[in-house]
Structure 1
């Protein structure tokens, strides 16, 4: 047993004299807590407190077959002491979530994952929900870590979000993270296979263009601040009716089975879109930065059809529609 000299009390508010229980962390910090609050937040603790105390016949408490906290083996200041495997930072965050205080800062993924593991182990539904939402917020910036954490805890929805987040990166950019050691090779293989299937889905997006509606794309703004793309059927897009820009000899077919000659810059744009989506099969990749500036610069300087406010607007609207179509196909994988 650890000597008293090696043990310190936690900071406020977990040092109140009104507490009736002490949770001792793995790094020897005592949290003075209240059984009632723990019981309300965690069926695991509620069950443990209902068991006979030392000296009476009892079995070690468990959480679905896994040991979650040591039986009461010590007393301090008249309060029973329960040893838990969590460190001081993890337990502090977990307790601040279940206590009636303002939620702690949970922006750091390094602390979200161990705290979520503890919340799941103690069956703290409210804490699990909050931490799961916080975990989701990292699905686009640290998708591989989030994926591994979600898979480890059987959180299929979060795992899917993280898998889609991985599409924002190339496979070479997805470096090995420590959390991968917590999941099986099969789970990691499923992620790689998902990415490869998404890349395959993008291969035909810019070659079979029959999914493109008839007409000219226009960005529509609504009072709800929602942006939609609609198609003006009576007007062909500028890249099919231009009289100034150089034309591509190939012919494209729209979804009405009409054939169109198109501007060379537009076909080059589709080629660059396909190359980008094969590396990162995610719609937003073709809307980032200056990606649309290259086709605009490829338009003829004297063109009165393409290089106009309406012509460039139609290109931007088409790019947004194309990005949405890419995401729609990814969602179906």
Structure 2
């Protein structure tokens, strides 16, 4: 009678069912993967050294093909081996699954497979897991992926607050986390400066309503700002918009911050109280905001391109 604890051996699906193989990897849950020593040796120095050793007695044999039992599950082993086969493709069921495969690839020193796993994880999980992917990129030394993921973290308001702790914290060093916070802060500082001076605003904007002479700028309530076409006198409502949006950008330095309607609507509402501003202000503010967003993206990209984030 078979031992109740004995695992029933199953056969892996193609391409790991080739009986012309010269080695079988048996997963921890009892699935046999028929593979080739040459492929594993090329992908993994660990397996290369293993195959160079004399075969030990405890190994079992099926049709004279050596069987090596590994600690990985069949799901993990299948993904790992697919990453080793040049014509094969795989996907991960979750980021946690991807992490397990990356751990296995690192264990067997499969650098090419590890790199492919990182590319796939970025393609699959970046929109919802950029913080964890930043941590993994730092851990495995992928500066390009780290930069991509770090740029997405600019969408998080006040990243340094304790409430923004994330699952990947266990995968990241204090230094790499500090670099991420520093990057977020420098992008916020750069984005905020865009509204404090309009020197980047071109000559074609000289006729916009925000600095035409009208009751909005009468008395002492106006503010002077520098532009490419000279110093302009702007209304308090417009200056308030620049100040409030600058504060928002400091906390969350990304394009979507300027698409939020509350500060914009407050400015429009106040502007429409002016008889002179009312007819054209929506059109002009929409045009200004589009240029404002483009400028913020440009200065933030300048911070990103400095690549000070990751040092290996």
- For Structure 1 versus Structure 2, the TM-score category normalised by the shorter chain is 0.7 to 0.9
Structure 2 counterpart of 1:175: 165
Match in the other structure for 2:67: 81
Q: Does 1:286 align with 2:258?
A: yes
**Contact 1:252–1:262 (CA under 8 A) maintained in structure 2:** yes
1:322 lines up with 2:304 in the alignment: no
**CA separation in 2, counterparts of 1:193 and 1:106?**
32
For residue 32 of structure 2, the aligned residue among 26, 30, 35 is: 30
Unmatched runs of 5 consecutive residues or more in structure 1: 56-71, 218-234
Match of 1:60 in 2: none
Task: Select 2:176's aligned residue among 181, 187, 191.
Answer: 187
1:216 matched to 2:204? The reply is yes
Q: Deviations over 1:278-328 (max 9, x none)?
A: 2212234323577755544444276233234xx244224223223324423
Partner in structure 2 of residue 153 of structure 1: 140
Secondary structure of residue in 2 paired with 1:15 = coil
Secondary structure of the residue aligned to 1:147 is helix
Relative to its length, the structure with more helix (as a share) is 2
Distance 1:241 1:107 in 2: 58
Decide whether the 8 Å contact of 2:223 with 2:236 is kept in 1: no
Among candidates 224, 236, 240, match of residue 268 of structure 1: 240
Any stretches of 5+ residues in structure 2 without a counterpart? none
Equivalent positions of 1:103-252 (< 5 A) are 103-106=89-92, 108-137=94-123, 138-170=125-157, 171=159, 172=161, 174-177=164-167, 179-207=168-196, 209=197, 211-216=199-204, 235-241=206-212, 243=214, 249-252=222-225
The answer to whether the 8 A contact 2:92-2:121 is kept is no
Structure with the larger RCO, 1 or 2 (CA within 8 Å, 6+ apart):
2
Q: Compared with structure 1, are the counterparts of its residues 34 and 264 closer, same or farther at alpha carbon in structure 2 (3 Å cutoff)?
A: same
Task: Name the SS for the 2:232 alignment partner.
Answer: strand
TM-score, L = length of structure 1: 0.73
Distance 1:48 1:261 in 2: 77
Once superposed, what is the RMSD of the aligned Cα atoms?
A: 3.3
Take 1:242 and 1:46, find their aligned partners in 2: how far apart are those partners?
Answer: 79
- For normalisation by structure 2, the TM-score amounts to 0.77
The CA deviation string for residues 58-106 of structure 1, in whole angstroms up to 9 with x for no partner, is: xxxxxxxxxxxxxx83334432122323222211112223336551223
